[in-house]
Amino acid sequence: MAKLPTPHIGAKEGEIAEKVIMAGDPLRAKFMAETFLENPVQYNNVRGMLGFTGTYKGKRVSVQGHGMGIPSIGIYTYELFNFFGVKSIIRTGSAGAYDPDLRIGDVVIGMGACTDSNYAAQYNLPGTFAPIADFGLARKAVEKAEELGIRYKVGNILASDVFYGDNPDGWKAWQKMGVLAVEMEAAALYMNAARSGNKALCICTISDSLVTGEATSAEVRQNSFTNMMEIAFNII
């Protein structure tokens, strides 16, 4: 166990719950804490990456920002799993649709996470590692989405290192392999969970479509993608 607090999370021992819901945008984490948690207490403001602990329907839950991209979520989830005793992490985020059937606001449950990142190289594996979600969490997410009448799809997502790609049609190579959508973090989350023997799931809301060109505003992404949050809080 590392000396607490860590370089990136200013919490003391016991201030973070074993179950954590994360968001790339720290203001979305703040929104979730204020909207869903009872008696939320802020435990982190290091680098503005807000973290809160409270209760949801009697369960102790923490909400934490993780920033953008695999290096950032890699740091935060590593510290949570390995230094703060966290057992389960659900990432809630936005994603760009590759699947033509996905509409703005639909939920994607990431069963697997393809990636163009080199994150797995650190493990010195004699092959290619396939980052996957915890099946129990994924199954619960599907059941809750159906119960709530939320449009969803389950499948592969792409955790990309690149937001502004040099090849504007590069996404079509992933689409032809059945990848549903692109985001920027799930693969590192799943790898950190696997390496530490813990559970993880990524639930995303479609914020834009590479197929149709539709897009939403930053304010909408921050405050109105509540379906994925409702699922996450009810299954964590």
Q: What is the pLDDT of residues 129-176, one digit of tens each?
A: 999 999 999 999 999 999 999 999 999 999 999 999 999 999 999 999
Is this prediction's pTM over 0.75? Answer: yes
Determine whether 106 is an active site residue.
no
- Give the active site residue among 25, 106, 134, 208: 208
Find residue 95's DSSP bridge partners. Answer: 206
Q: Which whole number is the average pLDDT over 34-57?
A: 97
Domains of the chain, start order: 19-235 (3.40.50.1580)
What is the pLDDT at residue 217? 79
Is the Cβ–Cβ distance between 38 and 32 less than 8 Å?
no
Q: How confident is the model at residue 91 (pLDDT cuts 50, 70, 90)?
A: very high
Quickly list DSSP for 117-137. --GGGGG--SS----B--HHH
